[in-house]
Each structure stands twice: as C-alpha cells, then as structure tokens.
Amino acid sequence: MLVAIAIRSEWVMRLIYWISIKSFRGWTPLKFRVAVVAILYHIGGLHSGCGISAMLWLILSWAYHIMNKNLYHYLVLVSLFLSMLVTVATCFFATPLIRGLHHNTFEITHRFLGWLGIITGLIFVIASSWWDVNTQSWRASGRYLVRQEEFWFMIAIIPLVVGQWVTVRNVPVTVQAPSNKASVIRVPGGLTSGLHTRVSRGGLREWHIFGAVSEGKHADCHYIVMAVQGGFTRAMNEEQPETLYTKTWKPCGLPYFSRLFDRGVAICTGSGIGAVGSTCIQHDNWFLVWIGADLERTYGIEFMNFIKSKIQPERLLIWDTRGPLGRPDVNVELARVYKQWGAQVALFIGSPALNKSVLRTSRARGIPVFGSIWDA
C-alpha cells in the first residue's frame, strides 16, 4: 500500500522524473532514453498493481484472523475488516468500466475511502501490536509499536497524503470563453515546461488536471486550455468563475521528458496544445504542429497570438482543418516533420482513437512516439 500511494504522490513523481533526467540526459544512447520514458510512461500500472496486491493481502489477513477469531480482540478484527472492505471498494470503483462511466464517483470514493482506509489501517496496526494474544490483554506501550514494520509503513504514508494538500490555494483566475467549445484560463504563476495544473471549484471533492502553457517559471502566469467536454468544463465556460482552487506544487506530465532529447516534434489536436505548448515555447529544439478546426475562433485571438509570438515560425505549423488544406493525414504529417526536423522523438496529444492509430503506425515506421495517457 505504501508503494501504491507513494507512486501517485506528486512530490515523489517529480523526484523520480528529475533523477531520471539528471542521470541519463546527454550521455546515454537514444534507445536507452526512449526505454526510460517508456518505463515511467507505464508507472500507473505500479500504482494499480500494488493497490490490488494490498487488497489481496488484507483479504488473506482477514481470513487468517477470522479463522482464529478467539485469539483476537474485537477491535483488531473490526479495524482489519473495515480496512479490507474499504480497500476492496476503492479498487472496485477504480476499475476501467466504473471509472469511465462514473468518473466523479471514482474520484470521490478514491479520495475519501482512501483516507478512511488509511485511518482504519493505522488503527489495526496499533491495536494488533498492543493486543497480547498469549495473555489476552492489552499492553499499550510504544516499545511494542515501534517494533512493528507495518507501523512505520503507515507513518510514511501520512506525509505522502498530507503533502498533496498543503499547497492548495484559492487563486484569482481569468476565464476567457471565445467559443462554447473551449475556455482559456489565465492562472497566476509561471511554470517550467512539462508541468500540469490541477484545479477545483470547491477544493475538496472534484479535482481536474490540465496541461499548462507558460513562458517559464519566471512568468507571471500560465494558461489552461480547456475543451468543453463534461459538466465541469461546461460550467467553467458558461459561469467563468473568478477564483479556483489549485495546488502550487505541480504534477509532472509526459512532456517533462522532452529534456532527455536533443530535438523533438510535438503534434497536438485542439486543446491538446495545453499539454505540449510549454515544451515548444521553452525549448528551441522542439517543433510544434497544432491541428484543429477554426482554432482562432475556438481559442481566441489573444491566445493564438501568444503561441505565434513565443514560437519561431520555422518551428511552428498551425493547421486549420477548415482551411484550404482540409484535414491532414496525421500519420503522414508526423513522419514528414519528424524527418525534416531531424527529431529524436515525437509526442502526440489527441483523441483516444487517433492516439491509438498514430502510435501504432508511427512505431511500425520506427519512429519513437509517445501519446496521451487516458487515465486521469
């Protein structure tokens, strides 16, 4: 359980990404660097796998304790049962079917049941260490507790969870809604490339992660490009709130690994510009291809001018699918720009179906490409 929680901690992930870049940038072979990104690209599987393993261990522990229930105090049994039940429920609501159809339910249960699971787990660890099976009596002493490795695991979990919330702030924002298809939100504070932003209306229940476009960490703001696709994004577009909750310690996204490569190509469709915009603004060795319909009308003249003014024309291609060129063959365009630019790697941010097609085709052509991660 400790590993499952740690690997989702934004503090831990930033550290892992930073170590990986500092350790392997510049001197390792290209294939090795691509492999490093591929491994960390699938790190969410470690979170899921460790969570399921923790659930199975709790089920086995419950079975053992219930078979020997005469040896244990009811507090030990009840706290273990609740911890197991909460973990099972958390894993159930995190299954792809439930998560896809009822994402808000998944998020709420994952957060609040997760907290409850930590509390009941800590109670179980303390109760089981203080309950003497041989004498059938309590021995409430710290010296028994500190000998239990499970106790130290639980202690390590607490700062990992608390650390996610100590940087929460309510900040003023400016929401621009050039169209009913997308919003561009100006948030205080500049960001280095590859970092994303989490925002919430209430600060406790729903949190949503978006790519952030910024000139750099010394800029006075960053931009969130938000497509109108659900209840939260629609409300942002229509209501245009003046403040939002955000976390000042930002999570890493896949584009953070752009630092590992000498030259790269980022291709995105629509609001995908939010994920890769900073990479191409802050790194002169990256080429941006932005594809979409009526981009200026959808995202506004101000944001379009911002992108055009921060990225040199020789490494920027804005493709309006409503223009004379029509809709491009993304696979062909990616291969062409990749070769022309002399890139080492490509990033693609688009819809799930297009993402799958581009990754499959490009890899068949020998182009190392990484795409959107649809698990948020």
Give how far Cα 249 sits from Cα of 9, 103, 164, Å: 11, 24, 8
pLDDT of residue 376: 45
State the pLDDT at residue 336: 96
Position 242 scores a pLDDT of 96
**Does CATH number 3.30.559.10 belong to domain 168-247?**
no
| Spatial CA neighbour of 2 closest among 78, 57, 63 | 57
pTM for the full predicted model: 0.89
The DSSP annotation for 92-147 comes to HHTSHHHHHH-HHHHHHHHHHHHHHHHHHHHHHHHHHHHEETTTTEE---HHHHTT
Question: Per-residue pLDDT tens for 195-228?
Answer: 999 999 998 888 999 999 999 999 999 999 999 9
| Architecture of the domain defined by 254-371 | 3-Layer(aba) Sandwich (3.40)
Reading the chain (376 residues) residue by residue, the pLDDT tens digits are 899 999 989 999 999 999 999 999 989 999 999 999 988 888 888 999 999 999 999 999 999 999 999 999 999 999 999 999 999 999 999 998 888 888 888 989 999 999 999 999 999 999 999 999 999 999 888 888 898 899 999 999 999 999 989 999 999 999 999 999 999 999 999 999 999 999 999 988 889 999 999 999 999 999 999 999 888 999 999 999 999 999 999 999 889 999 999 999 999 999 999 999 999 999 999 999 999 999 999 999 999 999 999 999 999 999 999 888 889 999 999 999 999 999 999 999 998 889 999 999 999 999 999 998 755 4
Domain with CATH 3.40.50.80 in the chain: 254-371
CATH 2.40.30.10-classified regions of the chain: 168-247
